[in-house]
């Protein structure tokens, strides 16, 4: 199975900050990598698909990058509604998720 390792597991930030979350795959997954946001008590929602494509309706302060085994999710100008958990997910072979990153208020 393909393992996804996210870092950090949690981070503290302030409104207006720039935040970067990393996702590393245990083998090459090309750009078969998606990012989801999950607010407390809610279902996850798609943010970024195929590594770098912003989902329709997602704010442009979110961006994704990378390919192969190293991927990033960057949030510029962090907003109050961005304090949530973020998960990477691969679709190269079956499906797996990273363990998640919780973005908390500093």
Partner 1 sequence: QVQLVQSGAELKKPGASVKVSCQASGYTFRNFAMHWVRQAPGQGLEWLGWTNPAIGDATYSQAFQGRVTFSSDTSANIVSMELRSLESDDTAVYYCTRDAKVVGSPENYFDPWGQGTLVTVSS
Q: Which residues bind partner 1 (CB under 8 A)?
A: 1, 31-32, 34, 36, 38, 43-46, 49-50, 53, 55, 87, 89, 91, 94-100
For 82, the 3-state DSSP assignment is helix
Provide the minimum distance between the beta carbon of 69 and partner 1 in the complex, in angstroms, as a whole number.
16
Provide the minimum distance between the beta carbon of 16 and partner 1 in the complex, in angstroms, as a whole number.
28
What is each CA distance from 52 to 1, 49, 80, 105, in whole angstroms?
Answer: 23, 6, 23, 26
CA separation for the pair 18, 3 (Å, rounded): 27
Provide the minimum distance between the beta carbon of 91 and partner 1 in the complex, in angstroms, as a whole number.
4
């Amino acid at each position: 199975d393909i393992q996804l390792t996210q870092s950090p597991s949690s981070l503290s930030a302030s409104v207006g900050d720039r935040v970067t979350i990393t996702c590393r795959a245990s083998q090459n997954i090309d750009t078969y990598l998606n990012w989801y946001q999950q607010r407390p008590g809610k279902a996850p929602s798609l943010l970024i698909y195929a590594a770098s494509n912003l989902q329709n309706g997602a704010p442009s302060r979110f961006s994704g990058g990378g390919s192969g085994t190293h991927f990033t999710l960057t949030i510029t100008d962090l907003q109050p509604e961005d304090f949530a958990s973020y998960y990477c997910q691969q679709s190269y072979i079956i499906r797996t998720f990273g363990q998640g990153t919780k973005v908390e208020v500093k």
